[in-house]
């Protein structure tokens, strides 16, 4: 076989490379190199695919987490504005509270006065027994309990809700103690001392026992 002659400075044909081994020429095909390149590309794709999917999932998780956090923040802000708005809308002025509260206790004082008159007529000239004292105290406590319940329903002045609740709790406790020991309550109003102090702090002079 005739040997291909390449002139000085001339490259071999593009579709083949030549090498000499003994007396024969070998033609090296580019196919193995192509298969190697494709194998490397496939391998890289196999590795990069899961990495890309993981990054995609991680990114979506972060984005969804940020959206959830933003939603929670917006809901909390809305709740705060709503609560603050309701507190302001439901509050009254101090003067309005005092006026309404004293009106309630004036009705209680009137009811208590009427009961006193009936009890005095009933027990006039009679030495009161423990049972009589219990009857009198339980009767007198009814309008007081009603007044306490009505005061609990009043809207408190802005910023004074806790003070009003404390007052109502003291009145309820006084009622409980008076019912537990009617005879002691008949002899002394000391059981109402705490309640009397609290109603005065709230400007409700008419509610003093």
As averages over each run of 10 residues, the pLDDT of the chain (209 residues) reads 50 47 47 58 56 57 62 60 50 94 96 92 90 93 96 96 97 97 94 97 96
Contact 158, 88 (CB under 8 A): yes
Question: Token pair 């208590």 is at which residue?
Answer: 112
Predicted local confidence at residue 21, as pLDDT: 45
Predicted local confidence at residue 86, as pLDDT: 45
Backbone torsions φ then ψ of 60, nearest 5 degrees: -60, -40
pTM for the full predicted model: 0.58
Predicted local confidence at residue 125, as pLDDT: 86
Per DSSP, 26 falls in state E
Predicted local confidence at residue 18, as pLDDT: 45
Tokens of 117: 């008159």
Predicted local confidence at residue 155, as pLDDT: 96
The residue extents of the domains of the chain are 34-90, 92-207
CA 110/CA 128 separation, integer angstroms: 24
Predicted local confidence at residue 23, as pLDDT: 44
């Amino acid at each position: 076989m005739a040997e291909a002659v390449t002139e000085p400075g001339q490259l071999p044909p593009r579709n083949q490379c030549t090498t000499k081994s003994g007396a024969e020429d070998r033609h090296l095909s580019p196919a193995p190199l192509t298969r190697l390149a494709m194998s490397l590309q496939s391998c890289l794709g196999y590795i990069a695919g899961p990495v890309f999917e993981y990054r995609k999932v991680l990114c979506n998780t972060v984005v969804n987490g940020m959206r959830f956090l933003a939603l929670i923040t917006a809901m909390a802000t809305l709740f705060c504005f709503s609560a603050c708005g309701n507190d302001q809308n439901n509050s009254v002025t101090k003067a309005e509270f005092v006026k309404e509260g004293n009106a309630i206790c004036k009705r209680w004082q009137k009811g208590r006065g009427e009961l006193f008159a009936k009890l005095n007529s009933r027990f006039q000239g009679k030495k009161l027994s423990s049972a009589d004292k219990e009857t009198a105290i339980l009767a007198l406590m009814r309008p007081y309990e009603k007044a306490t319940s009505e005061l609990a329903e009043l809207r408190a002045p802005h910023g004074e809700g806790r003070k009003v609740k404390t007052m109502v709790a003291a009145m309820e406790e006084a009622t409980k103690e008076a019912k537990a020991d009617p005879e002691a309550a008949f002899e002394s109003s000391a059981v109402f001392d705490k309640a009397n102090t609290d109603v005065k702090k709230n400007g409700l002079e008419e509610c003093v026992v």
